[in-house]
Amino acid sequence: MKPRLLTGDTPTGRLHLGHYVGSIENRLALQDEFECFFLIANKHAFTTRADKPDEIRQSVLDIATDWLACGIDPLKSAMFIQSEVPAIDELTFFLAMLIPFNRVMRNPTLKQEIEDKGLGDTYPFGFPMYAVGQCADILAFRPQLVPVGEDQIPHLELCREVARRFDQLYCNVDPHAKDDDYPKLGGVFPVIRPKVGRVKRLVGIGPPGANGQLTKMSKSLNNAIYLGDSADAVKKKIMSMYTDPNRLRATDPGNPSPQTNPLFAFLTAFHPDQNYVAEQSEAYKAGAVGDVVLKKALIEVLEAVLSPIRARRAEFEQRPDDVMDALRVGTRRANEVAEETLEMAKKAMKQDYFKRELKMK
Ligand code: TRP
């Protein structure tokens, strides 16, 4: 039997290059080695967009289409919709009892999100709850590996903690046990391992944020290049992307640091010839190469990644029923596993009163 892998995306828009290098590349690489579960976290989308159900529905379809376009194979991997897997919600409630409220509120990813999205103190109860929900998303599948972008690490740490707590409390696993040994020692839940992508944090194409640092690529920050963008849109975005603001002419010495200059952040992330990037970086410092030349080189490199995805996307866009079928098959499989996990968890908690069967049409 193959080890399991679970990860997912929140349907708040289409997927962009940040998703691609942060997690999708890993998913594609691991699709054969692992039994994969890919979740569309549509309930999580409601944490900040409860007033936009149409957009969320469209985004669910967009993300599934993006996945297929990238090369996720629905015959190998289960692509599924979170809200159609009730065992996840049921687990969320039980897991919520094992996580201190203040522990959730200290989660730096939640705090950052509150800041970035300007949520103030008006966010709904469900917003912090999604962090507990994410533990259930993962643990319902008892995976070994969870490929994510670096920003998700605090969520995965919470997931590791709650798995240990559950197994110690209800399955008599020794608190001194090694993380990898929990299932072997009778624990229902594995203490999962995160796997972060090749590029830890891809910046957006815009200027730095209020703190002076470049912002991460994100729909809400309006600085993203989408996997579904047309060649023309990609070209326009790159040609107008932020670079070194102090450089007015190609002969001015420039700063090529990927920390401050998105052009070099992108060349470093995507150019297959890093010697070329190193040379151009020196030339940039010396005022010997212009932004336009490098932007054109970047467009070419990005097109090599994006054009096959775009072509497949165009095909799947014509076949929304096939996309839904892929989700139906995947959700069915997801329910099989999640129901089994819930049954195991209820048994461990001595709340296994009746058996049930879930039927999906
Ligand atoms: N929070 C993740 C994001 O916004 C999406 C997500 C939901 C997820 N549940 C998950 C990722 C479980 C990994 C595992 O990107």
Tokens for 178, please give them: 């090694």
Q: Which is nearest to 9 in space by CA: 146, 104, 162?
A: 146
Pocket test for ligand 1, best of 5, 6, 9 (most atoms within 8 A of CB): 9
> Does residue 130 contact residue 47 with C-beta atoms inside 8 Å?
yes
- Pairwise CA distance, residues 236 & 61, whole Å: 26
Ligand 1 atom with minimal separation from the 41 CA: 7
Q: Ligand 1, atom 9: nearest CA belongs to which residue? A: 134
Name the residue with the closest Cα to ligand 1, atom 13: 7
Return the residue whose CA atom lies nearest to atom 11 of ligand 1. 8
First to last CA, the chain: 28
Distance (angstroms) between ligand 1 centre and the Cα of 58 equals 18
Answer yes or no: is the C-beta of 59 below 6 A from any ligand 1 atom. no
Report the pLDDT value the prediction gives residue 46, as an integer from 0 to 100. 96
pTM of the predicted model over 0.85: yes
Look up residue 235 and give its DSSP letter. H
Element (H, E) at 323: helix 320-348
Ligand 1 centroid – CA 13 distance (Å): 14
Distance CA 159, CA 250 (A): 49
Ligand 1 contact via 215 beta carbon (within 6 Å): no
Tokens 């957009």, residue located: 55
Per-residue pLDDT 10s for the chain (361 aa) are 899 999 999 999 899 999 999 889 999 999 999 999 999 999 999 999 999 999 999 999 999 999 999 999 999 999 999 999 999 999 999 999 999 999 999 999 999 889 888 889 899 999 999 999 999 999 999 999 999 988 899 999 999 999 999 999 999 999 999 999 999 999 999 999 999 988 989 999 999 998 899 999 998 889 999 999 999 999 999 999 999 999 999 899 999 999 999 999 999 999 999 999 999 999 999 999 999 999 999 999 999 999 999 999 999 999 999 999 999 999 999 999 999 999 999 999 999 999 999 999 8
